[in-house]
Structure 1
Amino acid sequence: MIANQLLGNAPDALRLEGALQVEAAEQLLKSLPMTAACYQVSLKGVSAVDSAGLALLLDWQHRLNHAGGELVISDIPESLQRLAQIGGVDALLSRSDNGVESMES
């Protein structure tokens, strides 16, 4: 999992790549900076995801919301969407469908 790849000059954008599973989620749990009002995370390069990856994104979102910010997730893989639906948390994911452009490298 490569998780610290900043996009362009945007200090408030991050692209995750590789497997977003238990091992990576444990390493990434506290790595999201809490400095941006709106932080964008692209999942375009994520090849696999499990419930720990979903929990990580929900944790980041909760912590940013609590700090007065917002987490916007783009390029959500279909597998993550299905996992969130099965878990009944799909409505909790802040995604950038229309209002925010997908982050490209």
Structure 2
Amino acid sequence: MAEATVVRMEGVLTMRTIAGLVDRALPEGNCVVDLAAVVEADSAALALLLEWSRRLKARGDTLSVTGMPDGLKSLSELYGLDEVLPIAG
């Protein structure tokens, strides 16, 4: 796999806070989203990650996630997103 650019997220990723992030310009190439500094997240965070993954895939790149908070990881597993949102390290 080609080298990936790390995008670090922090703070709160919920329905109230992600609106401005949906259209965020993603770096060229593969992307790793680091959620280690996220203190609160809900299903809206998963929707954001899925949208970013879709956009990257459309241009031939990949998205993976690292540092996913336990609660968000549980939601991801519950929704069957394990294969769609690969969790690195």
TM-score if structure 1 supplies the norm length? 0.74
Q: Residue 32 of structure 1 contacts residue 60 of structure 1 at CA under 8 Å; is this kept in 2?
A: no
Amino acid at match of 2:66: S
**Matching of residue 53 in structure 1 with residue 66 in structure 2:** no
Higher RCO (CA 8 Å, separation ≥ 6 residues): 2
State the alpha-carbon separation in 2 of the partners of residues 94 and 87 from structure 1.
14
State the alpha-carbon separation in 2 of the partners of residues 40 and 89 from structure 1.
16
Q: CA deviation at 1:91?
A: 2.3
Cα deviation, 1:18-39, whole Å, max 9, x if unaligned, reads 111012221100103252x211
Gaps of 5+ in 2: none
Runs of 4+ in 1 over 2 A off after TM superposition: none
**Aligned counterpart for 2:60 among listed residues 54, 68, 74:** 68
TM-score if structure 2 supplies the norm length? 0.85
Gaps of 5+ in 1: 1-11, 98-105
The residue aligned with 2:14 is 21
**Aligned counterpart for 2:70 among listed residues 67, 78, 89:** 78
- Percent identity, please: 32
